[in-house]
Structure 1
Amino acid sequence: MQKKEVTIYDIAQALQVSPATVSRGLKNHPSISKKTCKKIQETAQKMGYRSNALASSLRTSRSFTLGVIVPRLDSNFMSTVLAGMEKSAVELGYHLIIMQSFETDEKEKECARLLFNHRVDGLLVSTSAERGHTEHFAPFLTKNIPVLFFDRVPLDPHPFSSVTINNQRAGYELTKIMLEKGARQLLHVTGNTNLRVYKERLDGFRSALKEFSISILPDHIWQTNLGVEDGIRAAEKILRMKTLPDGIFVANDTCAIAIINHLQKHDIEIPDQIQISGFNNDPFASLFTPQLTTVQYPGTAMGERAVTTIVDLIKNKNKSPKREELDFTLIPGSSTL
């Protein structure tokens, strides 16, 4: 037989106080002494009391919960973003519900539906790698629930808020390093350019080549999933080229290091024969030989800013969407001459 749920009325009866006093004591209300709050909370714990967050959210129209959808959790960069989000959320009195889309639109839609039904107060999203569509976030806007994109932003972010870096500028700077050191046959290994983050890095690559009056060869732009296996396949493809590139800009560090490692196994000297730069400044980038030239992507700061921004939008429903760009730092390494 299922045991009856303990209520604030049960706690009040046990302590011979009013239910209102129990309710305030459980929330550390300033009108209740610290001693009484402690006694109420200890009694509630002993009796097995559980607060009903759903009922509370229905009464107040606030759940103090933020939904977070990320492409995948097995990413050092995303771990730093989530750490920043958790820090700011705790400071502001919010909890996070974190879900991953596994890089598919269908799973992203399912995550959005579940979080909407869970009555989150705001939604933070880094889009999946498939298409970056936004129709499934429309119900949030209908209910005036703010949606903020971070890192991976749709090509058309209107009418959503966003926190990013200037990926176009970062891509330009990384490519320019190799050009200034003599590279002329450059290759770009990127992700899905339907996503703004990769399109802008590609735009930066193109801008640098144009500045140096170098033709952009369509067959020197390769779209991949940017994983380790993608890096190995890209390296194999490079080894089969009649003329090796002398510079490669890879849109993340994981894939860049996989390419370097595989090329080195085939006696290609980095950077003497091929200069290579990555993106994100993952911890292993500085430990690898040669040390990878990359960009410091401020993951923790991005997570903190995303949460503080969306909480501000929750509290001020009439505010217009915010679009913020954080600073990045170029990290020169020995993978470029």
Structure 2
Amino acid sequence: MKKITIHEIAKILKIDSSTVSRALQDSNRVSPKTKKRVLEKAKELGYRPNLLASNLRQNRSNTIAVVVPRISRHFFSSTISGIEEMAYSRGFNVLISQSLEQLKREREIVNKLFSNRVDGILISVSMETEIGLHLNHLEQAGLPLVFFDRHCADLVNSNKVLVDDFAGAYKAVHHLIQNNCKKIVHFSGPQTLEIYKNRLAGYKKALKDNRIAFNDELVLVSNLLQNDGMQMAQKLMNAHPDIDAIFAANDLAAIGAMKYLKGIGKRIPQDIALVGFSNEPISEMMEPSLTTLDQFGFQIGTISCELLLDSIQSKKEKPENKTIVLQPELIVRDSSKKI
């Protein structure tokens, strides 16, 4: 089927193609009568605008990109939902990629997105990303960039939408202490990432404020997959069988620990209480249900996307950078009610 162009519409109507173009863009430089003729003829002929050509003229693709560690994680899928909702409302398309927690893959994705002229990038960095050198050149090139959840501390002039990980961890550990837990373990993620540094710091501060001595043997670091949780729980039972609580930096590790502990006959929460972080849907369906912290993924997505689009559409040469911090909510369920 032949694609109709503005030049063919102009030829049929015996007017300039520039007049047709202006009419289709609802320009006030074209009379209502001519505009009506152009729109009717365009509809009759099945004209469709060439968005690619239009975007190239404006030096804009009307497309943004999202890079997440894993789409399968509920938090990231929720965030993507919020991003797409906001992008759609403002006429932007969204490309989605996952790094699978690999720096090499993340670097390649970012370079391809930059080469394909996306208007901006939203990113939550991988567990292997220690410095943001591959992201710094985007900022230097003037491409708007917004971090959400996980960010690079060395890129101090970036836009960020974060969760108060310190406060969330503090709430979790304080809650366990209030429920008569004294020997509390922390399952942490790689300390190269700010979110896990802050969650560890919140854990330490809650212990200190409640006059419980910090023991570095009770902090175990992993990639926080479910299998990691099972392995760490087994290691703990061998080395510290008298622990009475675990605060995990995500729900998956907590669920893995719960499965192992139940398998060896431990009662939860009577013997060992558990708290996770991220409020995965499965955490409510576990038996017992898992106490956790809600990070408000959808809200983070909408705020992050709005921040990015505002930056893209700003008329300022260099818009002011912002850091927005949301407070996580402690959701108390059966896994931590020891009293």
Fold match by TM threshold 0.5: yes
Instruction: Name structure 2 gaps, 5 residues minimum.
Output: none
Cα distance in 1, alignment partners of residues 36 and 272 from structure 2: 66
Among 99, 123, 126, the alignment partner of 1:125 is 123
Change (3 A) 1:254 1:41: farther
User: What is residue 207 of structure 1 aligned with on the other side?
Assistant: 205
Among 53, 56, 59, the alignment partner of 2:54 is 56
User: What is residue 193 of structure 2 aligned with on the other side?
Assistant: 195
* Conserved? CA contact 2:4–2:45, under 8 Å: no
Q: How does 1:58-137 map to 2 (within 5 A)?
A: 58-137=56-135
User: What is residue 331 of structure 1 aligned with on the other side?
Assistant: 331
| Counterpart residue identity of residue 326, structure 1 | L
| Counterpart residue identity of residue 333, structure 1 | R
Deviations 1:183-230 (A, max 9, x none): 111111111121111111111001111112222211211111111221
Cα distance in 2, alignment partners of residues 241 and 17 from structure 1: 86
Among 228, 241, 244, the alignment partner of 2:242 is 244
User: What is residue 267 of structure 2 aligned with on the other side?
Assistant: 269
Is the partner of 1:335 in helix, strand or coil?
A: helix
Cα distance in 2, alignment partners of residues 171 and 77 from structure 1: 17
Change (3 A) 1:276 1:11: farther
Among 169, 184, 187, the alignment partner of 1:186 is 184
User: What is residue 299 of structure 1 aligned with on the other side?
Assistant: 297
* Conserved? CA contact 1:25–1:40, under 8 Å: no
Deviation at 1:81, TM superposition (A): 0.3
Deviation at 1:273, TM superposition (A): 0.6
* Conserved? CA contact 1:26–1:41, under 8 Å: no
Alignment: residue pair count: 331
Deviation at 1:156, TM superposition (A): 3.2
Cα distance in 1, alignment partners of residues 41 and 100 from structure 2: 45
Cα distance in 2, alignment partners of residues 39 and 298 from structure 1: 49
* Conserved? CA contact 1:146–1:310, under 8 Å: yes
- Across the aligned residues of Structure 1 and Structure 2, the Cα RMSD in angstroms comes to 2.5
TM-score by length of 2: 0.89
User: What is residue 282 of structure 2 aligned with on the other side?
Assistant: 284
| Counterpart residue identity of residue 112, structure 2 | L
Is the partner of 2:335 in helix, strand or coil?
A: coil
* Conserved? CA contact 1:11–1:44, under 8 Å: no
Deviation at 1:311, TM superposition (A): 1.5
Q: Percent identity?
A: 31
Among 211, 218, 229, the alignment partner of 1:220 is 218
Cα distance in 2, alignment partners of residues 16 and 283 from structure 1: 62
* Conserved? CA contact 1:25–1:41, under 8 Å: no
Cα distance in 2, alignment partners of residues 35 and 219 from structure 1: 79
TM-score by length of 1: 0.89
User: What is residue 139 of structure 2 aligned with on the other side?
Assistant: 141
Cα distance in 2, alignment partners of residues 141 and 83 from structure 1: 25
Deviation at 1:26, TM superposition (A): 6.1
Cα distance in 2, alignment partners of residues 65 and 225 from structure 1: 32
Change (3 A) 1:76 1:197: same
Deviation at 1:69, TM superposition (A): 1.0
* Conserved? CA contact 1:6–1:50, under 8 Å: no
Q: Which moved more, 1:137-146 or 1:6-15?
A: 6-15
Cα distance in 2, alignment partners of residues 249 and 178 from structure 1: 8
Cα distance in 2, alignment partners of residues 219 and 308 from structure 1: 43
Change (3 A) 1:43 1:225: farther
Is the partner of 2:113 in helix, strand or coil?
A: helix
